[in-house]
Amino acid sequence: MDVDWGWITDHLGALAERTGQHLYLAGIAVAIGFAISFLLAIAAIRRRVVYPPIAAVAGLVYTIPSLALFAALVSITGISIVTAEVPLILYTFVILIRNIVAGFDSVSPDVIEAADGMGYTRNQRLLRVELPLAIPLIVAGLRVASVSTIGLVTITGTLGDRFGGLGFFIFEGISRDFTTEMLFGAVPSILLALVIDLLFTRVQAAATPWTRRRAVLTPEGSEVPV
């Protein structure tokens, strides 16, 4: 297996452009997916009865094979960004909704009761107490959803040039039987997923300062890290 380094150097500009497109397509999907998931999760938290049906539908959607869904949507919305984004968005639901609900569920009942007893209104409690405490699990959900969306975006490359990001190189490489171009799409998309994963790990640490610097005090008052 020979890699054509000359071809690679010639296409670095295209690589940058495709990486940008990849992030754009994945970013829109995760952003919209998160917004919708958040609203559905809040609804599920406030009215527990709606959670099982929401979770069931999100789970069902997740089982539809992605290629089949793209193909089905082409007949409705044609070759458009909507066709590309709708499946990407739908696939984020199952991860995001479950994690957001789990995040809010992880807040200790003692803390909720203290918030009520202190005189927080319901919305104040949600925004200032429950949301910050749910962040670790919410960000964990975002992390998994982002990484899996980055993987899926390569498949939108089947819709054509304008979509697919790095997937474009993969599909073109396959059709031309040109290994260098296939790898030119595959390796950066894997790296992209790893970078995003790392980024979210950092974001989570920055957003939850109270989980760091954990130390217990001995009776004498000296700090012992645990």
The answer to whether 210 contacts other proteins (rule: CB under 8 A) is yes
Binding mask 57-96 toward other proteins (x if CB under 8 A, else -) reads ----------------------------------------
Rounded Cα gap, residues 62 and 22, in angstroms: 21
Instruction: Return the percent helix, strand and coil in the chain, to nearest 5.
Output: 80, 5, 15
Least separation, in Å, of the C-beta of 105 and other proteins? 15
Find out whether 97 and 55 touch, Cβ atoms under 8 Å: yes
The answer to whether 114 contacts other proteins (rule: CB under 8 A) is yes
Least separation, in Å, of the C-beta of 5 and other proteins? 51
The span of 124-132, 166-174, 181-189, 198-206 binding other proteins (CB under 8 A) equals 124-132
In the chain the first and final C-alpha atoms are separated, in Å, by: 51
Q: Nearer Cβ to other proteins, position 64 or 118?
A: 118
Q: How many CB atoms are closer than 10 A to CB 77? A: 13
How far is C-alpha 80 from the chain's CA centre? 22
CA angle 136, 26, 165 (to 5 degrees): 145
Which one among 12, 14, 67, 118 touches other proteins, defined by CB under 8 A? 118
Note the residues at the interface with other proteins (CB under 8 A). Answer: 108, 110-111, 113-121, 124, 129, 132-133, 208-211, 213-217, 219, 223
